């Protein structure tokens, strides 16, 4: 626009259509990178027996959806300021204005009752996924026969699952996309043990089954990641508890594991899952706990250089960079997806 000068006012509008898209857990953003005079969303909910569409607003004076036309409902918002990203700020959707659409039962339990009911349902499913049979018992006894403590026991099981079982969705497995498409799913942990490979969940379920077979209590823990919306128990829907960990009760404390990320040291989780709320699912009494936070000494970047200064002023030598903890996970995951020449170029 060559004629634009300071002080000019520019007005424009656009319309966006989303056809054949299910508005379940759909995020409708009001606040964008530019100031907005007027926003309107129109939605046609599905008729699902036993469910109805609900909306939850985040940091905006949202008044809900109102009937508009045949089967459509709309909502509007005016005079929305521009969203500006700031250094070290919380996740974007934690600070800007938007609305979440989702389907749920029209009759809602109070939060404590809802999470107790849902946690028991998850525990029931996990019991089938991580079931223990004779093959699992035999392997657990072999792996832990020399373990003197619970920590040694868990370390041996973790090492076995990471080194001997291929995660078909991880780059280091060598499994191709075509092979994953033709993958015949494992039905139980002993299938994963026999085939020596499985999905991310298969590896975690095998670890849980081995831990149970060695005499410890293993549960599935549903975790809310800190890199998205911050979890609140008042939101009675599992949408935010979208991450899986294995929780093992050892020496009176719950310890958390995620074997889908093979480069995590024992006692560490992915960074969004540390110091986060987790629901330990149990058929008797599900419980919310905070996952542990690894210390700064566990995630470090260390650089060393051995250099020589020649007479003509040239500097030569070797530089070594060592990454541990979360930094190490990032670097190893990056290198996994590269070829040899690509690794040498960085």
The Cα-based distances of 161 to 5, 54, 80, 143, 180 in angstroms read 64, 42, 51, 11, 19
pTM: 0.86
pLDDT-derived band of residue 9, with 50, 70 and 90 as boundaries? confident
User: Is the Cβ–Cβ distance between 14 and 38 less than 8 Å?
Assistant: no
111-293 CATH, one of 3.40.1190.20, 3.40.50.2020, 3.10.620.30, 3.30.1490.20: 3.10.620.30
What is the distance between the alpha carbons of residues 144 and 141, in angstroms, rounded to a whole number? 5
User: In the structure, what pLDDT confidence band is assigned to residue 175 with cuts at 50, 70 and 90?
Assistant: confident
Count CB atoms within 10 A of the CB of residue 166.
Answer: 18
Is there a contact between 272 and 90 (Cβ–Cβ < 8 Å)? no
Helix (H, G, I), strand (E, B) or coil at 344: helix
d(CA 212, CA 232): 31
- What residue ranges do the domains of the chain occupy? 26-104, 111-293, 298-345
* Segment among 3-7, 228-232, 320-324, 337-341 with least mean pLDDT: 337-341
User: pLDDT value at position 41?
Assistant: 92
Helix, strand or coil for residue 222?
Answer: strand
* Per-residue model confidence (pLDDT) at position 61: 82
- Do the two domains 26-104 and 111-293 of this chain adopt the same fold? no
Q: CATH code for 26-104?
A: 2.60.40.3140
Q: In residues, how long is the chain? A: 346
Q: Which pLDDT value is given to residue 219?
A: 97
Return the number of other C-beta atoms located less than 10 Å from residue 117's C-beta. 13
Mean pLDDT of 296-317: 93
């Amino acid at each position: 626009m060559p004629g634009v000068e300071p002080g000019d006012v520019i007005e424009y509008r656009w319309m966006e259509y989303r056809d054949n898209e299910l508005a379940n857990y759909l995020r409708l953003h009001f606040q964008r990178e530019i100031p907005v005079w007027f926003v309107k969303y129109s939605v046609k909910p599905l008729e699902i027996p036993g469910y109805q569409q609900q909306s939850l607003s985040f940091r905006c004076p949202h008044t809900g959806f109102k009937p508009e036309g045949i089967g459509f409902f709309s909502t509007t918002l005016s005079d929305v300021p521009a969203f500006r990203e700031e250094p070290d700020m919380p996740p974007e959707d934690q600070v800007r204005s938007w609305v979440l659409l989702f389907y749920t039962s029209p009759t809602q339990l109070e939060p404590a009752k809802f999470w107790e009911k849902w946690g028991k349902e998850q525990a029931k499913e996990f019991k089938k996924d991580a079931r223990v049979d004779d093959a699992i018992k035999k392997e657990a006894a072999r792996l832990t026969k020399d373990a003197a403590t619970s920590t040694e026991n868990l370390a041996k099981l973790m090492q076995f699952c990471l080194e001997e079982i291929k995660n078909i969705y991880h780059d280091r497995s060598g499994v191709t996309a075509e092979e994953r498409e033709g993958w015949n799913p494992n039905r139980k942990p002993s299938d994963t043990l026999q085939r020596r490979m499985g999905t991310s969940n298969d590896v975690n379920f095998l670890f849980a089954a081995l831990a149970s077979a060695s005499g410890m209590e293993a549960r599935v823990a549903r975790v809310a990641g800190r890199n998205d919306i911050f979890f609140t128990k008042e939101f009675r829907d599992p949408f935010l508890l979208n991450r899986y960990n294995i929780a093992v009760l050892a020496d009176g404390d719950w310890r958390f594991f995620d074997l889908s990320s093979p480069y995590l040291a024992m006692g560490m989780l992915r960074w969004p899952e540390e110091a986060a709320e987790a629901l330990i699912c149990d058929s008797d009494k599900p419980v919310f706990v905070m996952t542990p936070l690894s210390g700064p000494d566990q995630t470090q970047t260390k650089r060393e250089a051995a250099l020589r200064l020649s007479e003509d002023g040239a500097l030569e030598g070797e530089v070594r960079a060592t990454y541990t903890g979360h930094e190490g996970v990032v670097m190893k995951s990056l290198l996994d997806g590269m070829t040899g020449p690509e690794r040498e170029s960085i």
